[in-house]
Structure 1
Amino acid sequence: MKSICKNTFNCPVEATIQLIGGKYKAVILWHLMSQTLRYSEIHKRIPNATDKMLAQQLRELEKDGLINRTVYPVVPPKTEYSLTDFGQTLAPILDAMCDWGTDYLK
């Protein structure tokens, strides 16, 4: 947790929501759990996200140390996103959210 002061939260749930509570943050993290993806691949998996919103959510996740952004110096530019080790620690939470959502949708 790089950009957030740990002492500003009143409870652990508040800290968790601060990190993954954005409109598409949990969904982005879910898609990055098993693989590295390019921006266009993430956008295809989250078609309702506007370019502006998706870019903002990715920047925040990177700033908070949950994802890596790798830019390759080629033409056209190639940018890939992957989870950091810190981001991987969210896997049990994301799995639980997926399980709950699956049960809810039944």
Structure 2
Amino acid sequence: MLYLPRLRAQRAPGLTHAIAPAAAACALERAVLAALGQRRPHLLNHLVDQAGPQAFAQALAALDARQMMDVLCLLEDAPRAAVCAHLPPSARRRWPTAQAPRPRGWRGLLQRTFI
């Protein structure tokens, strides 16, 4: 049985993005957001073990890019690799947007054209 902690629809101190689930979020997505809001890596690892890497990856794909990156950073190495292997390509394409903004001007245009 999947253990789901209570979700607080608040912003955790020190975070720059919202920790509130979408209206039609699944139970696993809500549990992931609750564990992320409380910064509990052991709970995230437990959720991966309990739900499986494929279901966990589908729940991560529904999150923001920054939330997805935060969850992946909190996971241990083995569960992170298993989850990353099951992430859909659309979720993988969002990773660069979470890391740094694109340069503007002619340099940004060249990078977007040739990369």
TM-score normalised by L of structure 2: 0.27
Task: Specify which structure has the bigger relative contact order, considering alpha-carbon pairs within 8 angstroms and separated by 6 or more residues.
Answer: 1
The structure with the largest helix share of the pair is: 2
The TM-score, its normalising length taken from structure 1, stands at 0.28
